Amino acid sequence: MIEAVRWSADGRGVRIIDQRALPGEYIERDLRTLDEVCDAIATLAVRGAPAIGVAGAMGLVASLDASTGLDASAFSGRLTANAARIRATRPTAVNLPWAIDRMLARAAGVRGTPLEILAALRDEATRILEEDRAMCRRIGEHGVGLLAPGARVLTHCNAGALATAGMGTALAPVYVAAERGAQVSVFADETRPLLQGSRLTAWELARAGIPVTVLTDGMAASLMHRGSIDLCIVGADRIAANGDFANKIGTYALAIVARHHGVPFYVAAPTSTIDTAVADGDAIVIEQRNADEVRRSFGHLIAPEEAAIYNPAFDVTPGELVTAFITDRGVVLPPYDFAAWGTHEA
């Protein structure tokens, strides 16, 4: 299994797979400064809600590595400022602020030198990394029972190993099924405008030897009409208390099409993606991305410069369209009421 985010060889940086280069090139980069960490998250070199939470926590540690010579007050100020900047890089996925807040809480509990505080932060970031790997495995184990032999799974965007520190969320049941010798196949929406489905999901599945077919986003309805899809599994970047959830733009349309054709529609996500402080989807902040992601396809102009561009990174799907949530705690059936789970409870 690939490792999208981990400690660098010397333990002082964050090693990522630069997902901007895939599938053409496989490039690993070490993030060692605050600027490098923030740029990698903002430009989608590392992406996926769980992965950016892990990278944010580890990146906070890396960004403070050269600051242990400061006095206690100055180090505390640097910690607070770096955490705030990392936290603000992407607004929709809840895992990033969840991880940063957890790091700050750990630091607040340490009465010691900057070196001792940094050691505690490194330990906490490693815990977040290891918990994410274990979380992915539990999602896979809980969700694999939903895949009948020969299941044809449709997914949107990338919620696999590249989006987490482990085997993924939406693809975790697929990987577990493959481990057990089950014959399953995946249909991956291309996922415009940045093609995370065709560039990333198809790349990692093909690398793992799992049959994968790429389709453009507008083709999913035709496949369902033909009876060629057995179930949909997608990831999530933030789940509201009532089950409404944000995921990559195009997810809402896919859920509507699945409901129309009677195809089960599942959402796979860790507990850390549930934001019980948000009552419903209307309160989820949707990130607006640069217009050139739509106007230009990887450097090539495909829309007039004069045309206005609408480019939200995510949309919100009502919980009423979700057949069930596959979480690290188990499969959750409707009606959904995550308020009792506790805000960002791990």
Q: Residue 13: how many CA atoms within 13 Å on its side-chain side?
A: 15
Q: Which residues of 105-125 are buried (b: 16+ CB within 10 A; e: fewer)?
A: ebbeeeeeebeebbebbbebb
Q: Does 237 qualify as catalytic in the annotation? A: yes
Q: Which residues contact 219 (CB under 8 A, 6 or more apart)?
A: none
Active site residue: 132, 237, 315, 328, which one? 237
| Of 165, 186, 191, 163, residue with least CA distance to 175 | 186
Q: CA-based diameter of the chain, in Å? A: 67
Residues annotated as catalytic are: 237
